[in-house]
């Protein structure tokens, strides 16, 4: 195997996390940093020609090519897993920038008590918690992560309105959020007809609507790194697309312009990392398959795995780093606490056109009156809630076609259907929710014994299903969604209750899949310490949503980036000064 010049730091994965780490390390040290990315480079100039719903939103042109690599799923350890053959309940990214190029930009913070959820629930409910609940504390408090939230918000340029400034509730923001040290870096987006209707209705019902926080820039903004981006044009080609004007925070326009100028930075594309190489409890580098098909060993002093949730765990498993989790005995840590997010949605049929093709991935109004610990006690069996929001993300003409109030026509094709679909076109909004997904002993990751990737390596296997708790969350959120939809003056469809009956691979929910290589207070119960440094290998860092012990209710990337910036501080300010275990 050809061996090449050693580097100081090698990073597996050139997505949001990997490139953020590279930016920090190359700016603050003289270490040589190499990012190894399996996909291809991208540039903003390509994105205008990508305003095509068919190729990008329906055929997933920017996403991981599933013919090469996918994951498998089963509902329980007793069932047989089958591959996720086509997209999909989530959409993993590939190429420079990863899913960070085609995300929606929605940038929530998690609630303070979410970081100590196990303690919080035990204090509140004592012994009455559901069996098999596996929630854990993060080993990091909200107060400790707050400065990193603020840094991440400035880096990507989050627009919003604070609802809690230093402990004081501020009307117009999310009054239930944790205390912020600062107002958002920039104001929220303009609003649309649909989101304005939602806001009025929610306020009228006594709830506390706020503009959804987003990194799709409401106006021109220069971040502390000196990167200037222009404000959003509301073209609607946002989620699942690259932003052609760079208003959306994307690694290609946020991080690459800085990295391209750094002499101690190198990016190798078209190179798939296959193993973390280690010897005597120390990582020595990694191997990857390059574009010509050659297997390469890249030696490094420090190895960072930043290849998104599922591949983070998978690389560790394939490399035999750490002890795989055994669901039967509860022993082992690697692969445990797999979570997704609990989705619920209700359609509202309105009497006026919405121009729903206008919008931005993060344009919307939300309420959090039934989110986190708020408002849930009135609902039997609900421990944690979720946000409720109406988003104008930019509806495509294909995806937006055919929403008809239930019962109005018999068939899903033919003249009557067509007439009804045309009559209702552009008058249908969706009120949707994402609720905290708790961790359970029976939801976990391991290597699939049957199905392989393009190189013959085992695929990641998801053992994952909903429980009574998620169905209770869905019922609660569906009820409030319906209430607000009616108050908007619309006809309200039934909530999508089937989605939470059983975990459904065929319906997109979100790409907010987390856990597997979780952070925590002790090596017996977690894979990485609160600096995201591997408990057993001090020069190995595993960074991303893989570290979440369970999922929060908001979109995860802001929390992922806050953890990433904190990991960078741990590595640069502490580890480099005194190599060894930090915690």
Partner 1 sequence: MKRREFLTLPGSSLGGVLLYTLAGEPVRMQAQTGEIKVPLRFFTSAEARVVQAACDRIFPSDASGPGATEAGVVIYIDRQLAGPYGRDKYRYTKPPFVESVPEHGYQGKAAPREIYREGIQKLGDFASLAPAARDEKLRGIETSTFFRLLRQHTIEGMFSDPLHGGNAGMIGWQLIGYPGPRMSYREEIDKAPGQAYRQKPASLAQIVGHPVTGWEDEKG
Ligand X SMILES: Cc1cc2nc3c(=O)[nH]c(=O)nc-3n(C[C@H](O)[C@H](O)[C@H](O)COP(=O)(O)OP(=O)(O)OC[C@H]3O[C@@H](n4cnc5c(N)ncnc54)[C@H](O)[C@@H]3O)c2cc1C
Which spans of this chain sit near ligand X (rule: CB under 6 A)?
12-18, 36-39, 91, 93-95, 98-100, 102-106, 239-240, 272-273, 306-308, 311, 361, 511, 544-545, 555-557, 560
Cβ contacts of 316 within 8 Å, gap of 6 or more? 276, 305, 322, 334, 517, 527, 542
Minimum Å distance from CB 194 to partner 1?
A: 9
Identify which range of 36-44, 46-54, 177-185, 563-571 contacts partner 1 by CB under 8 A: 46-54
Task: List the single partner that 358 binds among ligand X, partner 1, none, CB under 5 to 8 Å by kind.
Answer: partner 1
Look up 278 and say whether it is catalytic. Answer: no
**Choice from 29, 132, 154, 191 touching partner 1 (CB under 8 A):** 191
Closest CA to 318 of 281, 274, 282: 274
The sign of the torsion formed by the CA atoms of 303, 306, 307, 313 equals: positive
Task: List the single partner that 3 binds among partner 1, ligand X, none, CB under 5 to 8 Å by kind.
Answer: none
Cβ contacts of 529 within 8 Å, gap of 6 or more? 139, 519, 520, 535, 581, 582, 583
For partner 1, the closer CB: 228 or 450: 450
Catalytic residue among 189, 208, 512, 534: 512
Minimum Å distance from CB 82 to partner 1?
A: 4
Minimum Å distance from CB 396 to partner 1?
A: 8
User: What span, in angstroms and rounded, lies between the C-alpha atoms of 60 and 88?
Assistant: 10
Which residues from 227-246 bind partner 1, rule CB under 8 A?
Answer: 231-237, 244
Question: Where are the extended beta strands (E) located within 128-201?
Answer: 164-165, 168-169
State the angle between helix axes of 557-569 and 16-28 in degrees (0 to 180), rounded to the nearest 10.
Answer: 30
Task: List the single partner that 451 binds among partner 1, ligand X, none, CB under 5 to 8 Å by kind.
Answer: partner 1
**Quick one: DSSP state of residue 349?**
E
Cβ contacts of 50 within 8 Å, gap of 6 or more? 56, 61, 62, 237, 241, 242, 244
Task: List the single partner that 530 binds among ligand X, partner 1, none, CB under 5 to 8 Å by kind.
Answer: none
Contact 90, 117 (CB under 8 A): no
Cβ contacts of 155 within 8 Å, gap of 6 or more? 20, 223, 224, 225, 249, 254, 561, 565
User: What span, in angstroms and rounded, lies between the C-alpha atoms of 42 and 57?
Assistant: 18
For ligand X, the closer CB: 51 or 420: 51
Task: List the single partner that 104 binds among partner 1, ligand X, none, CB under 5 to 8 Å by kind.
Answer: ligand X
51 binds partner 1 (CB under 8 A): yes
For partner 1, the closer CB: 244 or 543: 244
- Alpha carbon 387 to chain centroid distance? 15
Cβ contacts of 331 within 8 Å, gap of 6 or more? 323, 325
Task: List the single partner that 422 binds among partner 1, ligand X, none, CB under 5 to 8 Å by kind.
Answer: partner 1
457 binds partner 1 (CB under 8 A): no
Which residues from 352-391 bind partner 1, rule CB under 8 A?
Answer: 352-353, 355, 357-359
**Choice from 154, 200, 442, 451 touching partner 1 (CB under 8 A):** 451
- Alpha carbon 292 to chain centroid distance? 32
User: What span, in angstroms and rounded, lies between the C-alpha atoms of 391 and 356?
Assistant: 10
User: What span, in angstroms and rounded, lies between the C-alpha atoms of 524 and 139?
Assistant: 13
Q: Where are the alpha helices (DSSP H) in 504-580?
A: 557-569
Minimum Å distance from CB 459 to ligand X?
A: 12
Minimum Å distance from CB 192 to partner 1?
A: 6
For ligand X, the closer CB: 306 or 528: 306
Task: List the single partner that 337 binds among ligand X, partner 1, none, CB under 5 to 8 Å by kind.
Answer: none
Residue whose Cβ sits closest to ligand X = 15
Contact 556, 16 (CB under 8 A): no
Question: Where are the extended beta strands (E) located within 368-427?
Answer: 386-393
What phi and psi values does residue 104 have, to the nearest 5 degrees?
-100, -15
Cβ contacts of 322 within 8 Å, gap of 6 or more? 316, 333, 334, 527, 534, 535, 536
**Choice from 402, 405, 482, 523 touching partner 1 (CB under 8 A):** 402
Minimum Å distance from CB 382 to partner 1?
A: 24
For ligand X, the closer CB: 272 or 433: 272
Minimum Å distance from CB 64 to ligand X?
A: 7
Task: List the single partner that 380 binds among ligand X, partner 1, none, CB under 5 to 8 Å by kind.
Answer: none
Closest CA to 388 of 141, 170, 108, 143: 108
User: What span, in angstroms and rounded, lies between the C-alpha atoms of 14 and 36?
Assistant: 6
Helices and strands in the chain: count of H runs, count of E runs: 11, 23
For partner 1, the closer CB: 12 or 197: 197
448 binds partner 1 (CB under 8 A): no
Per-residue contact string for residues 409-428; x = within reach of partner 1 by CB under 8 A: ---xxxx--xx--x--xx--
Minimum Å distance from CB 307 to ligand X?
A: 3
Which residues from 487-506 bind partner 1, rule CB under 8 A?
Answer: 502-506
Catalytic residues: 512
Which residues contact partner 1 by CB under 8 A? 48-49, 51-55, 58-61, 65-67, 70, 73, 75, 80, 82-86, 190-193, 196, 231-237, 244, 352-353, 355, 357-359, 397-398, 401-402, 412-415, 418-419, 422, 425-426, 450-452, 502-506
């Amino acid at each position: 195997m050809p061996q090449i010049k050693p580097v100081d730091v090698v990073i597996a994965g050139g997505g949001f996390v990997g490139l953020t780490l590279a930016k920090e390390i190359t700016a603050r040290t003289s270490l040589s940093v190499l990012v190894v990315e399996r996909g291809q480079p991208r540039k903003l100039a390509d994105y205008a020609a990508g305003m095509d719903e068919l190729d990008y939103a329906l055929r997933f042109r920017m996403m991981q090519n599933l013919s090469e690599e996918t994951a498998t799923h089963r509902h329980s350890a007793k069932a047989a897993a089958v591959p996720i053959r086509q997209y999909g309940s989530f959409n993993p990214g590939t190429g420079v920038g990863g899913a960070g190029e085609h995300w929606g930009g929605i940038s929530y913070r998690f609630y303070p008590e979410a970081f100590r959820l196990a303690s919080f629930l035990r204090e509140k409910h004592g012994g009455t918690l559901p069996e098999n609940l596996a929630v854990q504390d993060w080993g990091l408090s909200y107060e400790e992560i707050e400065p990193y939230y603020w840094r991440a918000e400035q880096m990507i340029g989050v627009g919003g309105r604070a609802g809690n400034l230093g402990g004081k509730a501020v009307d117009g923001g999310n009054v239930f959020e944790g205390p912020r040290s600062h107002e958002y870096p920039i104001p929220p987006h303009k609003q649309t007809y649909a989101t304005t209707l939602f806001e009025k209705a929610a306020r009228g019902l006594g709830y506390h609507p706020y503009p959804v926080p987003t990194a799709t820039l409401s106006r021109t903004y220069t971040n502390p790194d000196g990167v200037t981006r222009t404000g959003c044009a509301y073209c609607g080609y946002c989620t699942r697309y690259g932003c052609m004007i760079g208003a959306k925070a994307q690694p290609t326009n946020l991080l690459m312009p800085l990295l391209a100028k750094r002499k101690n930075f190198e990016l190798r594309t078209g190179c798939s990392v296959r193993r973390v190489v280690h010897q005597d409890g120390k990582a020595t580098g990694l191997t990857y398959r390059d574009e010509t098909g050659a297997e390469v060993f890249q030696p490094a002093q420090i190895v960072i795995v930043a290849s998104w949730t599922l591949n983070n765990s998978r690389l560790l498993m394939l490399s035999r780093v750490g002890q795989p989790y055994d669901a039967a005995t509860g022993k082992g840590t690697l692969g445990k606490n797999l979570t997704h997010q609990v989705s619920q949605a209700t359609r509202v049929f309105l009497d006026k056109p919405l121009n729903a093709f206008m919008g931005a991935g993060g344009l919307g109004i939300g309420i959090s009156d039934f989110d986190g610990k708020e408002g849930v006690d009135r609902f039997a069996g609900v421990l944690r809630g979720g946000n409720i929001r109406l988003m104008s993300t930019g509806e495509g003409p294909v995806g937006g076609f055919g929403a008809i109030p239930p019962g109005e026509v018999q068939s899903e094709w033919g003249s009557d259907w067509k007439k009804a679909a045309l009559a209702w076109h552009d008058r249908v909004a969706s009120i949707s929710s994402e609720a905290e997904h708790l961790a359970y002993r029976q939801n976990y990751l391991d290597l699939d014994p049957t199905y392989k990737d393009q190189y013959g390596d085992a695929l990641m296997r998801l053992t994952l299903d909903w429980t009574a708790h998620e169905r209770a969350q869905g019922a609660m959120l569906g009820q409030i969604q319906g209430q607000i939809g009616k108050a908007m003056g619309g006809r309200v469809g039934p909530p999508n209750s089937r989605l939470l009956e059983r975990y459904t691979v065929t319906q997109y929910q979100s790409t907010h899949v987390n856990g597997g290589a979780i952070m925590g207070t002790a090596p017996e119960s977690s894979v990485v310490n609160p600096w995201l440094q591997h408990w057993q290998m001090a020069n190995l860092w595993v960074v991303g949503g893989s570290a979440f012990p369970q999922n929060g209710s908001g979109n995860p990337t802001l929390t992922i980036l806050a953890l990433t910036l904190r990991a960078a501080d741990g590595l640069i300010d502490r580890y480099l000064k005194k190599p060894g275990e930090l915690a």
